[in-house]
Structure 1
């Protein structure tokens, strides 16, 4: 009986090594002066930035969900990496964390190096947009656990904050203004419902036209990253809420103290065309509890800071803080 190898079992070590070599330039393009060492060590190393009185390390982890299925079905892999970074770093800044470094986990039934390289190129692009370094990752080839065509992603972002800046909830007061930073699209939540509507109920395909563009392009539009807007305005922001699964209704209360209620004008929200289309088939309440509806990040600010923030970003006013039971009113 002939001997068998790891490759016979479905794991190609040589292909994995070639993949690591292929992504080195993308990974190195994200490095800043605090990265210690290069690629291939057992652990990524990063020197803590100086200048903090009482530094606190923050971490966030997330995935891309069933948006990955669209990438796989359309054979478009260059944007889901941006989504992965965005979902993590956008959470970090809500606790006033400045992203420092990122790690990724890529699991698949069979490694297709060119596809995986596109994914990592997207992760590197996301890191550049969020000004954090990609210091490590794991690529796991697991035949039998995943089908050959499938893969999954997980991301891990680490940031730093001044401890005194982190208690944003207690600083939210009556009369403060609520601003919206627009989303770029559906972002990375609600894709199970998206797929159910467009493909099962409406019988559309990835190439179907939606508002003058292929549906797949609209659905794979990468999640917007808000790190630069946060950094430019952090001293003028009281609180931030990343609008992900659960929409404004579920996410904004996470940064509100007891006795404070957010009053938001639905008419003021610049709803994206894709959500207007979907609203023909999904109840409004369900839409607002599932999707961002065009608002990717919410800022709570003092009235005196509204004009400056709106002038140096694309933020706009959608409501105000009032006294009441903690929660959100959409009026």
Structure 2
């Protein structure tokens, strides 16, 4: 099987007629990490819940490992791991007791100690769940998702509440899982996280996919920037015609889709005219800029 996740014209409508997922289509091949991005209310979690088999679609088709995750849950659930936004484990149980309880319901579960060591909770096994920090509870959620050695792993905002060190450690673990062949579907509000981890991504906007592709493809859809202080005695109109210039106070920003060419031509122009470009900064668009730009384009088109 090439694609382990297949989504075609997926829809989810809530009571009252609100359509949270409005015709989403994408596929994820085996061993890929695919990220779903979007603002609050874009439809990320609603889409994830349909893929996890927690709800039935209002329309369209979804297959995970060749099965309908809702109507054929028994065939899908033992082969998948799910990390929800909030686990809701019994607060009075210890960490080890919680994992042991969950392992009793999981086919081929890892040993409790191995699961806890994998997420950095090996030294907290005797602590009650209610005494864990927010970040530690997210680690416990991840341990549960990994307990059954899943072929497909769903991660909904996996690093919320983690400190920078914990976030990096989680990234390393997710990369390790992907490199071992696990297919990962990730939602996150941290664009840096998607940039670091995703092989491909989709940006959702109001229940629809606004952009999809490799990170570099999505970022490349937005202009790069060259900024510098406007040389004394010159107006924007005196600059070489290399793209769109935007002036903010004494600074000028050149927006271009051909960064290397524009930067070279600008520097040659400055050299030939004996002009010093103070504060020169040359950079490609970031995923954050692409995310915001695509959202603005979608709003303008409505």
User: Greater CA radius of gyration, 1 or 2?
Assistant: 2
TM over 0.5: no
Structure scoring higher RCO (CA < 8 A, sep ≥ 6) equals 1
Scaled by the length of structure 2, the TM-score of the pair is 0.25
